[in-house]
Structure 1
Amino acid sequence: MYDQNNRACVRINSCLSKLARRLTKTKFLKGLAKDLKPGFNTEFLPVFIIYKAGNFLKQPASQYLRHFIQILVLLFLNAKLFQISATPIVVPFLHATHAPFSTAVGVFDAFESSITTGNFPILAVGIILITGVTIGKLLCAWACPFGFVQDLLNYLPISNKNIIPRDWFKSLQMIKQLLLAFSVFSSVLYGFQTITEDIDPIKKSPFHDAPFSVLSPSTTLFTYIPWAAYWKPDVLYKQPIAYLKLSILIACLGLCVVIPRFFCRYICPLGYMYDLTNKFKFLKIKTGTVKKEEANKTLKEVCPMDVQISTDEKYIDSPACIHCGKCFKYFPNQFSQEFF
């Protein structure tokens, strides 16, 4: 296993080296080199690079701070890649628990696994409730690995406006609800089966341990594909639902290219659980004196979750808001985060 990890590290380092050689030819790094004059304090280099990247791609620096944090979280979640082992912790966002280098447990995986083993998911439910009531879906924008992948897809030079009609929004939201219902119902059935029967591990259903996570595009991307690429080429094609997994992943990524955060908007059952706590959360975005019609017109263009202000209250009341901060650039003197 140690040799396999070393080979994986060598491959990754090789890819990063090739990427670095290509990046050195870009205008961004050429401009960066001009600004790094003698006497520059290298302690501020990461922040400086984020700031310059924000200017180069015409994005507010806060968005590249967000991406920087997303990268740090992704590295932390896969610390075993760097030969760092740690006691697994439960993280309050969607995470592929069985990824080859994972050092954490996704809260929704913990939720499903607890039920399928015949236990009440008190830890997972507690984490979801505390997170939902305090910061809501903030970590969906700042920490979730699959959310980060969707953000990267939005930089592709393809039109990705909010093309879904508002009239369809509530109907498509039912997908989340149905997936959560499927997850809970299936988990309860498998949990009852675990308690009452002696199950043969070879014959048990592929949905037995985590009904939703088995088909989740996040799990396929971060778990099955890395395992197949580096250690077990048959981990995908020997499974009866392998092609279904890959089809769901490809379809989801394709839709995320043209519809920002499609998975977060309409598919993620954990996101729906956080939606239920929206009215009680402490962290809110205050809209100040901005007019609702003016704000909604701008949000339609820039918000990846297609959030709209539906009331005359001075706060964004939509449960879809993930606090990514993109709207702050357009209303710097009106929009602000408040915690109360």
Structure 2
Amino acid sequence: MLTAAAHLGACAGGDPGVGSTNPFESQGNSNSMSGTTQPGSDTDSTPTVGGSMTDSDTSTPTGPGPGSDSDPTGSDPTGGPTTAGTTTLPDPDCVDDDGDLHGEGCNAGPDCDDTSFNSWQSCGTCVDQDGDGFWVGCDQYGPDEPGPDCDDANPDASDGSDCECAVTPDAKASDTCAEGMAGALGVIAEGGVVPPIKGSITGIDNGPGNGQEDWYWVEFPEAMAMGNRPNAGKIAATFAVNPGDPTSPDYRFEVYTACNKPAFEGLAATYGPGTPPAREWEFFDAHSPPNPNPNPNPNYLNNVPWPAKVFIRVIRVANDQSCSEYTLQVSRLPT
């Protein structure tokens, strides 16, 4: 009797950067899903600095009014008007070439770059990477170097009005997993392909059910195969478009057999809770050569239920607050 077996794996889309400490880049072993990159997020501090200089009022005497016991004019004892007060800088020993009130000998503190009004502590993060004249990651912003840039990877997007991203519509994808939710991709027979799925998520993944995610679901009935298991076709999901750094692009996804189960449970050889999000995922039976095999593939699993329905959770893992768009491709290839 032929024993059904399944080959489960995920194809990496590029090696993670050397020296990264990103938890999404964990590879597990040779059969793991491809890793992801969770970039660090810069926090722009905006200290309130500076002081105000106030002149005293100047008034012209009109003489005491009838019955007055005092002089309300503020005049000096000789009867002449008071003169405007004078002030000096609150920090006369401060060497401050850029006017941000920070520098050598300044009460507000030192300046890491006394030629830039935008920076006194943020010299390593205050940048204009897309060259559009708008800066990001600075201590403050001035008229000569405005900011913050709402998308420093896009020279056509600078202020907030340029970055009103068109996120995935609610009718197209759900932001939580539930039976009968939006995001239905249809019933796919062997040889079928889901039309390209385009979407955009602006924020970095903040955990399942917290809104920064697109959920889809699709059915692959076992009976709609051209043959019986172990020849029921191969399910594949991948990003046809995944913007950002090619070695660490913006988007990843997870696959679930039910909303209340861990990602990839029953869908990979050694993975369950904690499985890293993937860029590519496949499920297919071990149909050639049949087991037993003198040199069995370690990725083979026996008696794995056919995934008749799966839920796909797409998340952003890089370039927070960017408008970049993904294209997800889901298919059931013939075997």
Superposed pair shares fold, TM > 0.5:
no
TM-score normalized by the length of structure 1:
0.24
Which structure features the higher share of helix residues?
1
Higher relative contact order (CA 8 A, sep 6+): 2
Query: Larger Cα Rg: Structure 1 or Structure 2?
Result: 2
Which structure features the higher share of strand residues?
2
